[in-house]
Structure 1
């Protein structure tokens, strides 16, 4: 297995992404040559932050154009690489027209295409796949089927489908495809990183993520009357990036790793932000009862099935494997939340609320 001192280049797909940008920053500071793929090399605004980081780092950045849905698209970028970080994946949770075409197929076929390139590239020794905590469960109610009221790496999302929880389904379908392809060969190893909901500073104002959507809703008054009784595993983006690096270069890293600092309710997030930013924003002060969403949820985009299976049920995650095997020490997400919201404010992504 390669080590962090290896002179071989490493590949990062989806280089302009929220987590991927931090992974590249860490790799460049370690002195690696990074082959980075983006969807469109002509869209320089999506990756110019990486070029600035590279200019101030001992490592070297080489950019390539690649498309998840195009066979052999990653062949050129992968040449000579021992480590492949497959981080490119569609991020569409809402406002999609066709779940299969917009979310599921790009995630699964993209993983298949990247790993097909790994099968053809003799230099590849390890693939680190960015999966998701959503690959371990589909609905909050699934927690009731666990032995210790806690999800861990042994759990798989078996309750999502193309029509129910499409985005989580895309994550588990893509990860299962990756394990299927990894087990069909014996040259390269697969390690999967399964992060919780990610908060923390972005290296670019162009970032799209689930956490940005949550913070925007807190800021625009959508949650002024109250938030659903829902909980999320949460983690800082730099911890997630660090987990990727350790999974890549620790010879003993294996299997899946839940990357999660703690569980936090939407109401707790709102309270943290209100303490930091005061009354300038309509941060939620109340948690609305599940019964209210059963009645009015369909008008707000929540199906009755989703409300029944996801509201009023706290969820918890066991990240001990990441601590024991990767040496992870997690930053308090309270700090990450405040930093992230301040950055969105500075970048103009959220604006001061005017009722």
Structure 2
């Protein structure tokens, strides 16, 4: 990567984007960062602070994912575009298409249309998700080695069944389609598992925050469902993006996962580190209980049938071999993330 050329990072206030920008600034790069509203200084102050202590520079640009041409200005002169901006809405949405799917797909399309208009761009690194590789946990039974890898695609999610995973796979497919229609720039996709670890700001929104809040607020005291998550430290995800941008041999998709933990294992790890100050789950409830009561807790019967009781695993060898990622201990990532939520007041002491 040429340090005289700026690098564009979209969705700069995001959890993953913050660490990517931190890495770039400390390595002396010029970062063009897009946000919805640069005048909201409280949302971006942490990035200004990092820039001030670093050898790099940061410049903010206003950009709306759904607005055509919104990324043209910020992309000028850039050889690398790292597109992290996408909605993370798994629950509490009104309209799956308008709130989740359209911003992900149209946003990706708008960014890549700007790439097509910007002659200097040579590579795009897209933040996708392991949700692009499978839709429901039961699909692990159809894998050859009892693990998902980069050859797998989510073909089962839809606008009505698992709309968030559908938004991720639809956006990634759109990106590959657009990449294949030209030959000036290449595309590398980063597909992280559930991201945990410290955030650079208390304003961060991520799916892992929601999981940890439920552990802390008593919602899972009676027990958790028999469900498993691939987990990865946010700093490893940031490093993977940097390697994907700078390594000329990087190509295709990369699963980024440090291992798998069940919800019960996560609860045990937190109890070992924070004691009984919180109502961390002690039990794993049987699938049959969720079939019976799931609909009252927001789990449809089809979701319970397809996603509970199937341990899922991910093959991250390609990222280790080609991007040189050495994964951090995911148990420490869970503990550090919870400690930060405590420090930031996001989680309150319960007992």
TM range (shorter): over 0.9
Structure 2: distance between partners of 1:44 and 1:90: 21
Q: Secondary structure at the match of 2:90?
A: coil
Q: Secondary structure at the match of 2:276?
A: helix
Q: Secondary structure at the match of 2:291?
A: helix
Q: CA RMSD in A?
A: 0.6
For residues 293-304 of structure 1, the aligned pairs below 5 Å read: 293-304=290-301
Asked whether the 8 Å contact 2:3–2:30 carries over to 1, the reply is: no
Structure 2: distance between partners of 1:199 and 1:148: 26
For residues 98-109 of structure 1, the aligned pairs below 5 Å read: 98-109=95-106
For residues 38-86 of structure 1, give each alpha carbon's deviation from its aligned partner in whole angstroms, at most 9, with x where no partner exists: 0011211111100000000000000000000000000000000000000
Match of 1:222 among 203, 219, 229: 219
4+ residue runs of structure 1 moved beyond 2 angstroms?
none
Structure 1 residue 171 and structure 2 residue 191: aligned? no
Structure 1 residue 77 and structure 2 residue 74: aligned? yes
Structure 2: distance between partners of 1:135 and 1:197: 13
Structure 1 residue 40 and structure 2 residue 32: aligned? no
Q: Secondary structure at the match of 2:260?
A: strand
Which residue of the partner structure matches residue 321 of structure 1?
A: 318
Structure 1: distance between partners of 2:10 and 2:307: 32
Structure 2: distance between partners of 1:46 and 1:268: 34
Structure 1 residue 244 and structure 2 residue 241: aligned? yes
For residues 172-196 of structure 1, give each alpha carbon's deviation from its aligned partner in whole angstroms, at most 9, with x where no partner exists: 0000000000000000000000000
Q: Could you tell me the TM-score, scaled by structure 1's length?
A: 0.98
Unaligned runs of 5+ in 1: none
Match of 2:143 among 142, 146, 155: 146
The alpha carbon displacement at 1:6 in A equals 3.6
The alpha carbon displacement at 1:7 in A equals 1.8
Q: Secondary structure at the match of 1:12?
A: strand
Unaligned runs of 5+ in 2: none
The alignment of Structure 1 onto Structure 2 pairs a total of residues equal to 351
Match of 1:87 among 79, 84, 88: 84
Match of 1:124 among 109, 117, 121: 121
Q: Secondary structure at the match of 1:235?
A: strand
Which residue of the partner structure matches residue 308 of structure 2?
A: 311
Structure 2: distance between partners of 1:32 and 1:122: 20
Structure 1 residue 199 and structure 2 residue 196: aligned? yes
